[in-house]
A and B are shown apart, each in its own frame.
Chain A
Amino acid sequence: MYLKMPFFIIIALTFTLSACSGGSNSENVDSGAESSNGSGTDSQATDYPSGNINFLVGAGPGGGTDNFARSLVEQFEEMYDTNVNVTNLEQASGAVANERTANEEPDGHTLNFASSTYIITVAAGQNNTGLDELTPVARMQSDILSITVDPEQFEDFDEFKEFAENNPGELTVGGTHAASPDEMGLLELNEASGLDLDYVPYDGSGEAQADLLGGNIDALLEYPSAMLDYVESGDMQPILFLAEERLDEFSDVPTTTEYGWDVTNGNERGVLVDADTPDEIIKELEEALHTIYESDEYKEYEESNHLHYREGWMGAEEYRQKLEENKEMYEEFLNNK
Chain B
Amino acid sequence: MWENLSNGLMTIIEPTHFIILMAAVIIGFLGGALPGLSGVMLVVILLPVTYGMDATSAFMLLTAIYGATVFSGLITAILYRAPGTPEAVTTVFDGYPMTQKGEAGKALGIGISSSAIGGMIGTIFLILLTPTLANFALRFSAPEYFALAILGLTVVASLSRGKLTLGLIGVLFGLFISSIGTDPLTGAHRFSFNSANFSSGIELVPVIIGLFAISEILNRSSKKENMEQKVTKVKTKIFDSNLMKKITGTLARSSLLGSIIGILPGIGASTASMLSYSEAVRWSKTPEKFGTGAPEGIAAPESANNAAAMGALVPLFALGIPGSGTTAVILGAFIMHGLQPGPSLMTTESDLVYAVFAGLLIVNLMILIFSKPFIFLFSKLLNVPYSVIGPLIIIFCIIGTFAIRNSMFDVYVMLFFGLLGYLLEKVGFPLVTIILGVVLGPIAESEFRRALEMSNGDFSIFYARPISAILLTFAGIFIIFAFIKPIMQRHKKRGKLEYQEKIGGKP
Contacts and interface: CB of A to CB of B under 8 A. Distances in A.
Interface of A: 61-63, 66-67, 87-93, 95-96, 99, 124, 126-128, 169-170, 172, 177-180, 183, 198-204, 206-207, 209-211, 213-217, 225, 228-230, 232-233, 235, 304-305
Contact of B342 (A99, A211, A233): A233
Contacts of B137: 210
A89 B408 CA distance: 12
- Pairs A-B, 9 closest by C-beta atoms: A229-B342, A179-B187, A62-B332, A214-B138, A178-B187, A91-B200, A216-B141, A206-B321, A92-B196
Nearest to A217: B454
B320 A229 contact: yes
Given A95-B196, A204-B322, A214-B141, 19 more contacts: A62-B333, A87-B406, A89-B407, A91-B196, A91-B200, A124-B187, A126-B199, A169-B456, A198-B453, A199-B453, A200-B450, A201-B187, A203-B446, A206-B321, A214-B140, A229-B345, A233-B342, A233-B344, A304-B335
Interface stretch (B154-162, B178-186, B356-364): B178-186
Nearest to B316: A206
B342 A62 contact: no
A62 B331 contact: yes
5 contacts: A178-B185, A203-B446, A206-B328, A229-B342, A305-B335
A198 B336 CA distance: 34
Interface string B453-466: 11010000000000
A126 B266 CA distance: 27
Given A126-B189, A210-B138, A95 B199 contact: yes
Given A124-B187, A170-B456, A214-B141, A204 B406 contact: no
Contact of B197 (A63, A96, A203, A213): A96
A124 B199 CA distance: 13
B432 to A, nearest CB: 25
B186 A178 contact: yes
Nearest to B195: A92
A56 B345 CA distance: 33
Contacts of B332: 61-63, 66-67
Interface string B435-456: 0000000000010001001101
A229 B341 contact: yes
B340 A229 contact: yes
A200 B453 contact: yes
Contacts of A126: 187, 189, 199
Nearest to A71: B336
B454 A200 contact: yes
Contact of A91 (B187, B319, B407): B407
B230 interface: no
A306 to B, nearest CB: 10
B487 to A, nearest CB: 40
How would you classify the secondary structure of chain A's contact residues: helix, strand, loop or mixed?
Answer: mixed
A319 B182 CA distance: 28
A62 B329 contact: yes
B179 to A, nearest CB: 15
Contact of A89 (B182, B186, B406, B450): B406
Band of interface residues on B: 35 or more
A236 B447 CA distance: 24
Given A203-B446, A229-B341, A172 B138 contact: no
Contacts of A180: 187
Contacts of B246: none
Contacts of A99: 196
Interface in B314-357: 315, 319-322, 328-329, 331-333, 335-336, 338, 340-345
Contacts of A61: 44, 47, 329, 332
Nearest to B322: A206
Given A124-B187, A172-B454, A213-B319, A207 B343 contact: no
Contacts of B108: none
A67 B200 contact: no
Given A92-B196, A203-B446, A62 B453 contact: no
Contact of A213 (B44, B138, B266, B338): B138
A96 B454 contact: no
B139 interface: yes
B334 to A, nearest CB: 10
B344 A92 contact: no
Contacts of A233: 342-344
Interface centre among A63, A66, A198, A202 (most CB of B within 10 A): A202
Contacts of B344: 229, 232-233
Contact of A62 (B44, B185, B446): B44
Contacts of A95: 196, 199
A216 B454 contact: yes
A119 to B, nearest CB: 14
A62 B182 contact: no
Given A91-B407, A92-B182, A229-B320, A304 B338 contact: yes
B191 to A, nearest CB: 13
A228 B189 CA distance: 35
A62 B328 contact: yes
Contacts of B34: none
Contacts of A92: 182, 196-197, 199-200
A216 B343 contact: no
Interface string B402-445: 00011101000000000000000000000000000000000000
B265 interface: yes
Nearest to A63: B332
Contacts of A235: 343
B55 to A, nearest CB: 14
Contacts of B142: 211, 216
A336 to B, nearest CB: 14
A127 B319 CA distance: 36
Interface centre among A199, A209, A215 (most CB of B within 10 A): A209
B32 to A, nearest CB: 19
Nearest to B201: A91
B169 to A, nearest CB: 28
Interface centre among A126, A169, A179 (most CB of B within 10 A): A126
Contacts of A127: 196
B139 A178 contact: no
B42 to A, nearest CB: 12
Contacts of A96: 196-197, 200, 407
A38 B315 CA distance: 57
Contacts of B338: 304
B410 to A, nearest CB: 9
A210 B145 CA distance: 13
A214 B139 contact: yes
Contact of A177 (B187, B200, B322, B331): B187
Nearest to A216: B141
B50 to A, nearest CB: 13
Contacts of B138: 210, 213-215
Contact of A209 (B47, B141, B321): B321
A66 B44 CA distance: 11
Contacts of A200: 450, 453-454
B133 to A, nearest CB: 13
A178 B187 CA distance: 5
B242 to A, nearest CB: 44
B405 A91 contact: yes
Given A206-B265, A232-B344, A211 B141 contact: yes
A67 B140 CA distance: 30
B174 to A, nearest CB: 19
B456 A206 contact: no
